[in-house]
Structure 1
Amino acid sequence: MTVRSISTRAAVVIGAAGLVLGTVGTVVATADSRKEDPRPAKTQIEGLFTTWNKALQTGDPKKVADLYAGDAVLLPTVSNKVRTDRAQIVDYFEHFLQKKPVGKKVQSIVNVLDKDSAMDTGVYEFTLTDPATGAKSTVAARYTYEYEKRDGKWLIVNHHSSKMPEG
């Protein structure tokens, strides 16, 4: 078999498109033509909940609040007050963490919007421990996390959690 000759101009056009002419009539893609999708994988976004849940386990409300953007909005599960700044978010977690919450996702739907934003919506359950008696209870809730990548770090910009109406 012979390789067809092509003009320099055609080679430049083909090269610019990231293609290489192989054996007669075969076009092969090069690494340049296979650009990686800059958007995060859905599994990466799902993993942000794991990071958040581990922060809960530290018992430190500031570590949890560090996962929220400075302008984040928190509509929490066990409080009627909308939290719109770091101090209010820390305040919520100071009280919530006293119940030693352990979260578990029941259902998760991730939508990657672009390379710097994504949403995770679904249902989770928390096992809570009463600080006075040690009795455990479970709270099922619907949730939405809206994430943005800011300065290379994924942060929660909106977190809505509400108890399931049937429970």
Structure 2
Amino acid sequence: MNLRLLTEYMLNKTLISLTITALTSFSISLPSQAEETQCANTNSTEIASLFDKWNSSLQTGNPEQVTANYAANGVLLPTVSNKVRHNKAEIKEYFQKFLLLKPAGKIDEQNIRIYCNLAINSGVYTFNLTQNGKVNQVQARYTFVYQKADGDNKWLIVEHHSSAMPEKLSGSQTKKRN
């Protein structure tokens, strides 16, 4: 019986020692991985300019230039389609049709938040869309989520949601914020 207790004691001691070693090794490696992440040096002016860059790419009429603003795994929830786009190929397919409307956008209200290598610009924008020679204005809510990848000095859209406003807003109800 003493031999059995001694064996259990030694086994438990070994398991505890291995567990402590594993946890110590794991916790030692975590800080070094965390230190490798460098947050982007940016500000709200730079993030706001990303909309201007995207809007300018719309003016080219070239879906390749528009999709260059999106990450490979970017998601688009577009204004004038019910289909969610899950990658650049699907996003390009959407813009091939949308660009036929000659869209030109302007920000009515924006709210920018910056989190390390992630930035969010959400608010309200208005688009002029031309169909059969007639220009229509469409006001929509939007959210752009941008990510700056490690080692890459380029912000890309990882999430873009746009939905038409359920109610028409008067000019006095719109405002521009940063």
Query: Same fold by TM-score, threshold 0.5 exceeded?
Result: yes
Deviates further, 45-54 or 144-153: 144-153
Please provide the CA RMSD for this pair.
1.1
Return 5+ residue gaps in structure 2 as ranges. 1-38, 169-178
Query: How far off its partner does 1:152 sit?
Result: 1.4
The structure whose Rg is larger is 2
Q: Distance in 2 between matches of 1:90 and 1:38?
A: 28
- 1:160/1:68 Cα in 2 relative to 1: closer, same or farther (>3 Å)? same
2: CA distance, partners of 1:42 / 1:112: 8
Per residue, is there more helix in 1 or in 2?
A: 2
- What is the CA distance between 1:38 and its match in structure 2? 5.1
- Name the structure 2 match of 1:144: 143
Residue 84 of structure 2 aligns to a residue whose secondary structure is coil
Task: Output one character per residue of 1:79-102: Cα deviation in whole Å (capped at 9) or x when no partner.
Answer: 000000111000000000000000
Tell me the distance in 2 between the aligned counterparts of 1:65 and 1:77.
Answer: 16
Separation in structure 1 between the aligned mates of residue 127 and residue 40 of structure 2, nearest angstrom: 33
How far the C-alpha of 1:145 sits from its partner, in A, is 0.3
> What letter is aligned with 1:161?
S
- The answer to whether the aligner puts 1:47 opposite 2:49 as a matched pair is yes
Instruction: Spell out the pairing of 1:1-167 with structure 2 (5 A cutoff).
Output: 39-114=41-116, 116-130=117-131, 133-150=132-149, 151-167=152-168
Classify the secondary structure of the residue corresponding to 2:167.
Answer: coil
Separation in 1, partners of 2:148, 2:40: 12
- The alpha-carbon deviation at position 149 of structure 1 amounts to 0.8
Query: Under a length normalisation based on structure 2, what TM-score does the superposition of the two structures give?
Result: 0.70
Distance in 2, Cα, partners of 1:41 & 1:152: 14
Moved over 3 A (4+): none
Matched residue count: 128
Unaligned runs of 5+ in 1: 1-36
TM-score by length of 1: 0.75
1:62 Cα deviation after fit:
0.9
Contact 2:40 2:148 in 1 (8 A): no
What corresponds to 2:176 in structure 1?
none
Distance 1:54 1:166 in 2: 27
Distance 2:40 2:156 in 1: 18
- Secondary structure of 1:84's counterpart equals coil
What letter is aligned with 1:137? N
Percent identity over paired residues: 49
Which AA in structure 1 matches 2:165?
M
Q: How far apart, in 1, do the equivalents of 2:65 and 2:128 lie? A: 20
